[in-house]
Amino acid sequence: MKVAIIGGGAAGFFAALSVKEHHPKAKVQIFEKTSKLLSKVKVSGGGRCNVTNGTTSISELWKAYPRGGRQLKKIFHIFNTKHCFEWFESRGVPLMIQEDQCVFPVSQDSQSIIDCFLTQSNLHKIEIHLKKAVSQIFADDQFRINLQFKKGDTLTFDKVIIATGGSPKLSGLKWLEELGHQIETPVPSLFTFNMPSEKITELMGIVVEKTLTSIQGTALKSDGPLLITHWGMSGPAILKLSAFGARYLSQCNYQFKVQVNWVNERNNDVVRKELESIVEQNAQKNLSNYRPYQLPDRLWQFLLDKLQLSGEKKWNELGKKGMNQLVVLLTNDTYQVSGKTTFKEEFVTCGGVSLESINMKTMESKAVKNLYFAGEVMDIDAITGGYNFQAAWTTAYIAGMLK
């Protein structure tokens, strides 16, 4: 059996190795259109490669996917985070789980993952072709798949797995649409919020570990650490919000208001009681000298300035009006977002080949027999934390079974 893998990235390599695991006698070839292999693996996680997440509960795992989660839930029992851990460690790549549940190689170097894939590919005699771009795919009467390359040559395979990754533009998916697949228009996911008109950018570098965030006028909500940058806001609380709101925010042309709850407490009455307790116990202290909820000092001073409250004012001089203003600001601070920043090397897209066009039990195309999909070329994406790679491993492993 001759099998072609289109794409020399994470999903492509994992699919190739899965084919050899399930069909040892298969002749497997990887075709990569560029001169580089596994380029996204190289830069991911700041060069450390966040290979998966430490979550072992499937009922929790699937919730990290704004798109594709429910379909993945049904197949995670075949290959999930525990299987991923075992796969890499059994091939000489020990992994470690951080406090935030992100999983990295113990080496803290993505090259460990790349070397593992290249070593395993060599071991299993997988052929790798660089600068080999596919221009057209078509099936013959025997349901074999023909790959036509840009240089004019055509090769025929019994099975083909497409693992070309996410495409930021619809034009990059036209060739798959022409084969009869439904395409969900790609838009960016996992991006930071630009706030050119907001003074909070002067606090660049500040991290608030526990926040609640939401998009004004919608049901979109998130939580987690928030990072203030020189262009606006980032961190898990923002990136998660951008992922779940990807389509809506694109429709808004990235002009919207984000609401920040700095104290991670949804109940305003609880916050009010906390502030009243401070007034009671620290009556004579200046507002600037006692920070509620241990907020970072520069942020607390900024919030006081925003309310035009003097830091020299005593806590017992706050008054009812000041108390109300402070409760609202701590729990529902609002900022105007005007644009986004995406990181080209690590871009994640919302969109791709619709899951309606794929048999998710096998990853086989419903439009073309013996054609399979793996990874981000499909309309599957996740929040940060290793979940996107896990989706790649899971779908690639199942595609490689070639059922």
pLDDT tens across 5-29, in order? 999 999 999 999 999 999 999 999 9
pLDDT value of position 342: 80
Query: Which residues does 358 contact at the CB level (< 8 Å), separation at least 6?
Result: 364, 365, 366, 373, 378
**361 touches 354 (CB < 8 A):** no
pLDDT at 45: 87
First CA to last CA distance, the chain = 13
Whole-number pLDDT of residue 346: 54
Here the tokens at position 135 are: 């221009």
* Residue among 206, 208, 215 at smallest CA distance from 336: 215
**Do residues 70 and 169 lie in contact, with contact meaning Cβ atoms separated by under 8 Å?**
no
Is residue 313 over pLDDT 60?
yes
Q: Quick one: average pLDDT of 59-74? A: 97
In this structure, what DSSP letter does residue 328 have? H
- Per residue in 234-269, pLDDT (tens digit) is 999 999 999 999 999 999 999 999 999 999 999 999
Res 89: pLDDT: 98
pTM of the model: 0.91
389 pLDDT above the threshold of 70: yes
Query: Per residue in 271-280, pLDDT tens?
Result: 999 999 999 9
Tens of pLDDT along 314-366?
Answer: 999 999 999 999 999 999 999 999 999 886 555 788 999 999 999 999 999 99
Q: Over the stretch 391-400, which tens digit does the pLDDT of each residue have?
A: 999 999 999 9
Mean pLDDT (the chain) is 95
d(CA 133, CA 376): 18
Residues 6+ apart with CB under 8 A from 238: 192, 193, 213, 222, 226, 227, 258
- State the pLDDT at residue 348: 86
Residues listed for the chain:
403
Query: Using CA atoms, how far apart are residues 189 and 351, in angstroms rounded to an integer?
Result: 9
Q: Which fold has domain 2-188+346-399?
A: FAD/NAD(P)-binding domain (3.50.50)
pLDDT digits (tens, 9 = 90+) for 90-115: 999 999 999 999 999 999 999 999 99
Res 141: pLDDT: 84
pLDDT at 82: 98
CATH 3.50.50.60 domain extents, the chain: 2-188+346-399
CB 108 within 8 A of CB 147: no
**Three-point CA angle 234, 238, 240, nearest 5°:** 130
| Residue-wise pLDDT tens digits, 172-225 | 999 999 999 999 999 999 999 999 999 999 999 999 999 999 999 999 999 999
